């Protein structure tokens, strides 16, 4: 397992690559956006492709021995064989629908997985200039200037749960099952946010719960999950176990899909049954 110092080294590279990818994304954002549809009908743009190329080139140069699992490569049928070692999960543009509709919630996501656990990650929202990172037991946020400089790193951590809680939910992918979990917390304040920023709101102590009872893929969640765990939070499946990564089999892209999960910052024991429905 990587040491705290080694994790900081990973995150430093993640941040540099995320900012570079964000610059490419914003260049596309500034002009007409052409949208294509992948085999699963999800949208993809030139920004997705350019950002992924930047990130993968940087990761493979820095750590050629570590496999990369990236959304657009997987869509193109490029599935690396994973053993028991570490690997990277990359979503170059999470929240493509937000991007296409010119909302600011889209993010760049890079994570390191060890033994099924997201141990380091960076989430960057280029339209907001907001960057969140975490590794080991440390998490922080920062702002990225117009020149690409990262400034004002500030430690973040989850907060003591509010009562009633503040719940964040997907803007574009709400499901009846998600609404059922939300309904178990009468009076809860609800905030709709796109992309992996939902994890970051919990990590920064600005919200308490994020239920996701709908389809997600491992690259959608890994970076935000790493930040949340480093900030003291948790991402649990509905049987109460930590969400695990690296589940897939070679040639089986659907095995990259996550089960339903609920994230929390600092949930009291009394919430556990409400979160799992047990």
Quick check: helix, strand or coil at residue 11?
helix
Report yes or no: 106 and 83 within 8 Å, Cβ to Cβ.
Answer: no
> Please, what is the Cα angle at 66 between 236 and 8, to 5 degrees?
65
Quick check: helix, strand or coil at residue 71?
helix
Residues 6+ apart with CB under 8 A from 49: 72, 92
Report yes or no: 55 and 21 within 8 Å, Cβ to Cβ.
Answer: yes
Q: Is 93 annotated as a binding residue?
A: yes
Helices then strands, each counted (H, E), the chain: 8, 14
Q: Is 40 annotated as a binding residue?
A: no
Q: Is 96 annotated as a binding residue?
A: yes
Comparing C-alpha atoms, which of 97, 106, 126, 130 is closest to residue 26? Answer: 126
Q: Is 239 annotated as a binding residue?
A: no
Question: Rounded to 5 degrees, what are φ and ψ at 266?
Answer: -140, 70
Q: Is 71 annotated as a binding residue?
A: yes
Give the rounded distance of the alpha carbon of 213 from its chain centre.
16
Question: Which tokens hold the place of 12?
Answer: 């430093």
Report yes or no: 38 and 128 within 8 Å, Cβ to Cβ.
Answer: no
Comparing C-alpha atoms, which of 141, 150, 108 is closest to residue 125? Answer: 108
Q: Is 201 annotated as a binding residue?
A: no
Q: Is 218 annotated as a binding residue?
A: no
Quick check: helix, strand or coil at residue 70?
strand
**Residue numbering of the annotated binding site for Mg(2+):** 71, 91, 93-94, 220
**Residue numbering of the annotated binding site:** 71, 91, 93-96, 220
**Residue numbering of the annotated binding site for substrate:** 71, 93-96, 220
């Amino acid at each position: 397992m990587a040491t705290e110092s080694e994790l900081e080294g990973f995150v430093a590279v993640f941040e540099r690559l995320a900012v570079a990818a964000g610059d490419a994304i914003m260049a596309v954002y500034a002009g007409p956006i052409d949208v294509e549809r992948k085999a699963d009908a999800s949208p993809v743009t030139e920004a997705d492709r350019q950002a992924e190329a930047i990130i993968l080139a940087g990761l493979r140069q820095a750590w050629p021995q570590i496999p990369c699992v990236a959304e657009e490569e997987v869509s193109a049928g490029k599935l690396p064989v994973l053993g028991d070692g570490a690997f990277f999960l990359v979503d170059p543009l999470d929240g493509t629908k937000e991007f296409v509709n010119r909302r600011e919630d889209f993010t760049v996501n890079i994570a390191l997985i060890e033994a099924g656990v997201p141990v380091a990650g960076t989430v960057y929202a280029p339209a907001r200039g907001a960057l969140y990172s975490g590794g080991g037991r440390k998490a922080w946020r920062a702002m990225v200037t117009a020149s690409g400089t990262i400034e004002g790193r500030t430690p973040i951590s989850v907060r003591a749960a509010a009562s009633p809680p503040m719940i964040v939910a997907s803007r574009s992918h709400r499901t009846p099952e998600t609404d059922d979990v939300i309904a178990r917390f009468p009076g809860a304040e609800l905030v709709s946010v796109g992309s992996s920023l939902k994890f970051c709101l919990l990590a920064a102590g600005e919200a308490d719960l994020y239920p996701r009872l709908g389809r997600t893929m491992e690259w959608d969640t890994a970076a935000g999950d790493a930040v949340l765990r480093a900030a003291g939070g948790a991402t649990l499946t509905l049987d109460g176990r930590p969400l695990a990564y690296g589940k897939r089999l070679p040639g089986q892209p659907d095995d990259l899909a996550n089960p339903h999960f609920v994230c929390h910052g600092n949930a009291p024991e009394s919430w556990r049954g409400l979160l799992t429905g047990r």
